[in-house]
Amino acid sequence: MSNILEISGVNLSFGGLKALDDVNLTVKAGTVHAIIGPNGAGKSTLLNNIIGKLSPDTGSIMFNGQSMLGVQPHQINQLGISRVFQTPEIYTDLTLLENMMIPLLAHRDGAFKLNLWSRGDQQADILEKAHHFLDDVNLWEKRDAIAGSLSRGDKRRLELAMCLSQEPKLLLLDEPTAGMARADTNNTIDLLKTIAGRGLTMAIIEHDMHVVFSLAERISVLAQGHVIVEGLPEEIKGDPRVKEAYLGGAEV
């Protein structure tokens, strides 16, 4: 199984604060890889480096054998990396259908050419795809609802559908169940399992260990900007370094 993402010797400092310290991490294609650690460990900073929002001081980030250093975020997205943010990035004043049409049109025509209000005969294919992706996350019946009125779980489903419409090869998820009730969390786990079952590679940042151990095939643990251990879920559960750094010695 080949590596889809390879991060080697990545360092990043903000003034005197070292946010990332010699980070080495690989994600194998077709797997779900979790990145865990305490608050301030550098998890979201690492994701921001992967998507080109930040640039490391030193080190390399390779995606499918291509360096991502110096590549613009929209180009990284076009190459096949999509990110789901901690707070769902949706257009709250638009309907679910309109939300879906924006990334679909951008993917077809380019971000600087899309026209949400183009003629209906030009949008038949877009509407068909919007139907497919909304139905895939069980939101087609709510297509005419205003997105801002959705529950937290449904907002996350909408954002996932929007990301999936970009046909990513690697999906980055930053705390995908944050702020959810347990029922919504479990529904999101089931949805992500279904998506992963199709072979899509995922890298997930998550604090909820129920989510992590329900989904992850491999786990990397960050502490103070450095990967202190990486391994299979069962190995991580029993590692004393994880207990100390992540939970102060308590059981994971």
Cα–Cα dist 236/227, whole Å: 12
Q: What does the mean pLDDT of the chain come to? A: 89
Q: Quick one: 68 and 185 in the same domain?
A: yes
Where residue 240 falls among pLDDT bands split at 50, 70, 90? confident
Where residue 24 falls among pLDDT bands split at 50, 70, 90? very high
Position with higher pLDDT, 203 vs 85? 203
Q: Quick one: 213 and 114 in the same domain?
A: no
Residues with Cβ within 8 Å of 175's Cβ and at least 6 positions away in sequence, in order, are 86, 205, 206, 207
Provide the pairing of β-strand 3-14 with 17-28. antiparallel
What pLDDT is stored for residue 246 in this prediction?
59
**Domain limits for position 113:** 82-167
Residues with Cβ within 8 Å of 112's Cβ and at least 6 positions away in sequence, in order, are none
Taking only the tens place, the pLDDT of each residue in 49-85 is: 999 999 999 999 999 999 999 999 989 998 999 999 8
Where residue 112 falls among pLDDT bands split at 50, 70, 90? very low
Residue 29 has pLDDT above 80, yes or no: yes
Q: Quick one: 23 and 53 in the same domain?
A: yes
Cα–Cα dist 86/250, whole Å: 26
Q: Which of 159, 165, 95, 160 is nearest to 130 (CA)?
A: 165
Q: Quick one: 68 and 180 in the same domain?
A: yes
Q: Quick one: 7 and 65 in the same domain?
A: yes
What pLDDT is stored for residue 250 in this prediction?
47
Cα–Cα dist 186/174, whole Å: 17
Mean predicted confidence (pLDDT) in 30-46: 94
Q: Quick one: 121 and 51 in the same domain?
A: no
Q: Quick one: 151 and 187 in the same domain?
A: no
Q: Quick one: 71 and 189 in the same domain?
A: yes
Point out which residues pair with 10 in neighbouring strands. 23
Residue 13 has pLDDT above 50, yes or no: yes
The answer to whether 204 and 35 are in contact (CB under 8 A) is yes
What pLDDT is stored for residue 41 in this prediction?
92
Residue 86 is part of a domain; what is its CATH number?
A: 3.40.50.300
Position with higher pLDDT, 181 vs 11? 11
Q: Quick one: 111 and 163 in the same domain?
A: yes
Cα–Cα dist 35/243, whole Å: 15
Cα atoms in the Cβ-side hemisphere of radius 13 Å centred on 230 = 12
Cα atoms in the Cβ-side hemisphere of radius 13 Å centred on 7 = 23
Q: Quick one: 132 and 251 in the same domain?
A: no
What pLDDT is stored for residue 110 in this prediction?
57
Largest Cα–Cα separation, the chain: 62
Q: Which of 167, 200, 215 is the last residue of a domain?
A: 167
Residue 26 Cα distances to 32, 101, 230, angstroms: 12, 34, 10
The answer to whether 203 and 33 are in contact (CB under 8 A) is yes
Taking only the tens place, the pLDDT of each residue in 175-184 is: 999 888 899 9
Where residue 118 falls among pLDDT bands split at 50, 70, 90? low
Cα–Cα dist 84/107, whole Å: 17
The answer to whether 136 and 200 are in contact (CB under 8 A) is no
Range scoring the smallest mean pLDDT among 22-26, 70-74, 124-128, 150-154: 124-128
What pLDDT is stored for residue 117 in this prediction?
55
Where residue 122 falls among pLDDT bands split at 50, 70, 90? low
Q: Quick one: 91 and 216 in the same domain?
A: no
What pLDDT is stored for residue 39 in this prediction?
87
Q: How many helices (H) and strands (E) does the chain have?
A: 9, 10
What pLDDT is stored for residue 62 in this prediction?
98
For 65, list phi and psi in degrees, rounded to 5.
80, 5
Mean predicted confidence (pLDDT) in 243-249: 64
Q: Which of 167, 190, 216 is the last residue of a domain?
A: 167
Taking only the tens place, the pLDDT of each residue in 40-49 is: 899 999 999 9
Q: Quick one: 205 and 226 in the same domain?
A: yes
What pLDDT is stored for residue 115 in this prediction?
57
Cα–Cα dist 230/240, whole Å: 13
The answer to whether 10 and 49 are in contact (CB under 8 A) is yes
Q: Which of 167, 201, 229 is the last residue of a domain?
A: 167
Cα–Cα dist 155/153, whole Å: 5
What domain count does the chain have?
A: 2
